[in-house]
Amino acid sequence: MSVGKSLLVCCCLVLAGCSAENSASPSEQNALEPEYSRKQVLSMAQEKYLNFARHHSPVEGYPRAVNDANEWVQVPLNWTSGFLPGILWNLAHWLEHDELQQQARRWTVNLDDAAHWSTHDIGFMVDYSFGKGYRATNETQYLPVMEQGAKNLVTRFNPNVGAIKSWNRMGRHTVIIDNLMNLALLFEAARLFADDRYYQIALTHAYTTADEFIRQDGSTFHVVDFDPTSGAVMRKHTEQGLNASSTWARGQAWAIYGFAQTYGYTGDVSFLEAADVTAKAFISRMPNDGVAPWDFDAPGEAQKDAAASAIAAAGLWLLSNLHDNPDTISVYRKASQRLIDALLNPRYIDLNESGESLLMHATGHFPAGSEIDTSLIYADYYLIEAMMMQLGFIDSPL
């Protein structure tokens, strides 16, 4: 698929169908009615995360998943380490809460080593902590780590491929759809440090992703392997989805959010079109209960991934803010609200003070049997962000 032709045609079909989407779909009619209000859940988020931040040390590690008692297990530096600081910065920014901001600083500064980590996920780790810290406070102490993180990230860019390498695989340049989310660090760095190289690398990576990851029906591949010398595509497949031709739900959610975010930074309409077609594909395949399965092609009563729902809800709301057409805005906002509505009940939300997480029934890596039917820190992050945008507490991600 090329950005210039096939994507434009597909996008036109999406936008033409917006008025039809305004009528109640099966998933809208049968989605779970919310039993908790968004403000109620956000209030509990403030309580849970302030309590956790007070009583734990970042030296002991950062939360990723919970144990059987719904307590966060602190683990060493990894791709999810930036989400707790991100939650704290978001809540502090909304509430203008001094102690939350102090804790956000505390859990951010300990992550400075992330800027030197050899990974494509530096954006998640650095921009969600130091980047949010800078944008929330305008304090320049956060800038050196952001700059170092950006410098590190661009070392993974291969101009033959036109993309930043995700995983280190022998004989191939492997790129995953998730990598779109890390481009925000480069766009921010280009602006902050007046270095157009960051912008151009992020832009090129996004073009390559739009060209090679989106199928004709708007669904996405999880992984594309390129020849590192010629740049030719070697294989399109999945690691965390059902199979090479299936649609891994969280990957589809990353695509919605990542392309919308990229359009916000660039104003390049091809990325708005990419966000539109991936959003349409996600919305059209949602089950009647309104909660995403781990893979849209998984057979039977598939394991749920509440994290995919939360990410998509945040991405759809962000996408709605980028459109001018009232009908299109309405479609995306209703879909975003339905995704969150379906989660706001005792099955998916833990409002007990004894539990440290909020959102239950997320799925990390189903094929590997890892982090299945659990709470994950990034699921809580995007749940909180989506609700804050829906309530108008923030216009866009901090």
Query: Catalytic residue positions?
Result: 121, 178
220 is an annotated ligand-binding site residue = no
3-state SS, residue 206: helix
54 is an annotated ligand-binding site residue = no
The 3-state secondary structure of 351-379, one letter per residue: CCCCCCCCECCEEEECCCCEEEEECEHHH
Contacts of 157 (CB under 8 A, 6+ apart): 163, 164, 165, 201, 204, 205
Rounded Cα–Cα distance for residues 19 and 394 (Å): 27
Residue 351 near residue 44 (C-beta atoms within 8 A):
yes
Residue 181 near residue 261 (C-beta atoms within 8 A):
yes
What letter does residue 349 receive in the DSSP assignment?
B
Residue 189 near residue 138 (C-beta atoms within 8 A):
no
What letter does residue 238 receive in the DSSP assignment?
-
How crowded is residue 194: how many other Cβ atoms within 10 Å of its Cβ? 8
121 is an annotated ligand-binding site residue = yes
Residue 341 near residue 34 (C-beta atoms within 8 A):
yes
How far is CA 97 from each of CA 36, 104, 132, 344, rounded to the nearest angstrom? 24, 11, 15, 25
DSSP 35-57: SS-HHHHHHHHHHHHHHHHHH--
Rounded Cα–Cα distance for residues 156 and 396 (Å): 28
Choose among 139, 132, 134, 52: nearest CA to 86: 132
178 is an annotated ligand-binding site residue = yes
What six digits make up the tokens of 362?
A: 């997320």
Choose among 281, 172, 275: nearest CA to 218: 281
250 is an annotated ligand-binding site residue = yes
Q: Which residues are annotated as a binding site?
A: 121, 178, 238, 250, 254
Q: Which residues are annotated as a binding site for substrate?
A: 121, 178, 238, 250, 254
